[in-house]
Amino acid sequence: MNRRLCIFGEVLFDHFPDGKRVLGGAPFNVAWHLQAFGQAPYFISRVGDDPEGEAVRTAMRDWGMDTDGLQTDPQRPTGRVSIAFIDGEPVYDIIAPCAYDAIEPPPAQQVDCRLLYHGSLALRDEISKRTAQGLTACQPDTLFVDVNLRPPWWQRDQVLAMVSQAHWVKLNADELDMLHPSAQGVAAQARGFLASCGLRGLVLTRGSQGAEVFTDGGERFAVRPQTDIEVVDTVGAGDAFASVIILGLANDWPLQLTLQRAQAFASRIVGRRGATVADPGFYQGLIDDWKLKA
């Protein structure tokens, strides 16, 4: 069996006041992009026995994704986030419980992860948390944790314990402040967090200021977005960024090159509406430029 990129966590629909719904969830978005880049990820999640669950399964099949890791829950509904706008700013109501809170261990013969990705939201419930811990215990070559702190669904001590098991962690500057507050500069703060958690590498995203990578060997790499980027929608930009960081780690790209490519892809995503793009042509230029093989 080929060792696979395993993506664990939530898949859900964002529901907007105008009745529109958008398929997403950070792990799902990452898996979607990796599929587009020819990496055939194994997506481990759970949906309800409902029309939205069937819509998730259909979207995955239409995109050529493996649905073997997508479970169906007979009682809990498919994940849902209700979005309202107050003074023009979005307010999120992440519904609980839902199907992705009860992800069960996949069959052992299906799981051989050279890289395991998971976030923090799907670990809010004990069932999914135990499953993630079981997957981690299988000792993937790389454990990549994408921190997504969504009130009230996180506790600092629990997130730090989760992060301390990881090899690589991605978070943004606000999340770094919440998990590792420091009066020092960003670089010292990031290095202190990396050392305290025993990480190989830390990916720090800083919005319009770009992103940086810090390693346990003392290296620091940085990238900034181009100034002429048209921004249509920033939803999912971090997931796009994470997907290419994973792509780089899986293919042994130099870290500076990986960071540049991640920023380039995130910049393309923010020019489109939505966190994912259901057009293979959108990815083809990058596949050719990066000489990717399925």
What is the per-residue pLDDT for 1? 47
* DSSP states along 94-106: E-SS-GGGGPPPP
What is the per-residue pLDDT for 233? 67
What is the per-residue pLDDT for 2? 67
What is the per-residue pLDDT for 192? 97
Tens of pLDDT along the chain (294 residues) come to: 468 999 999 999 988 888 888 899 999 999 999 999 999 999 999 999 999 999 999 999 999 999 999 999 999 999 999 888 787 667 788 999 999 999 999 987 778 899 999 999 999 999 999 999 999 998 999 999 999 888 888 899 999 999 999 999 999 999 999 999 998 899 999 999 999 999 999 999 988 889 999 999 999 999 998 777 777 767 788 999 999 999 999 999 999 999 999 999 999 988 887 778 999 999 999 999 999 986
**Of 161, 115, 121, which is closest to residue 138 (Cα–Cα)?**
115
What is the per-residue pLDDT for 10? 97
What is the per-residue pLDDT for 208? 81
Going along the chain from its start, the domains and CATH numbers come out as 12-275 (3.40.1190.20)
Alpha-carbon distances, residue 71 vs 8, 27, 109 (angstroms): 12, 15, 16
DSSP conformational letter for 53: H
Burial (CB < 10 A; 0-12, 13-18, 19+), residue 227, is: exposed
Q: Which residues contact 175 (CB under 8 A, 6 or more apart)?
A: 147, 149
The pLDDT tens digits for 68-113 are 999 999 999 999 998 887 876 677 889 999 999 999 999 877 788 9
pLDDT > 90: what percent of the chain?
74
What is the per-residue pLDDT for 294? 65
The pLDDT tens digits for 220-246 are 999 998 777 777 767 788 999 999 999
**Of 224, 203, 207, which is closest to residue 215 (Cα–Cα)?**
203
Q: What is the largest CA-CA distance in the chain?
A: 52
H helix or E strand, kind and range, residue 14: strand 12-15
* DSSP states along 118-150: EESGGGSSHHHHHHHHHHHHT--SEEEEE----
Burial (CB < 10 A; 0-12, 13-18, 19+), residue 48, is: buried
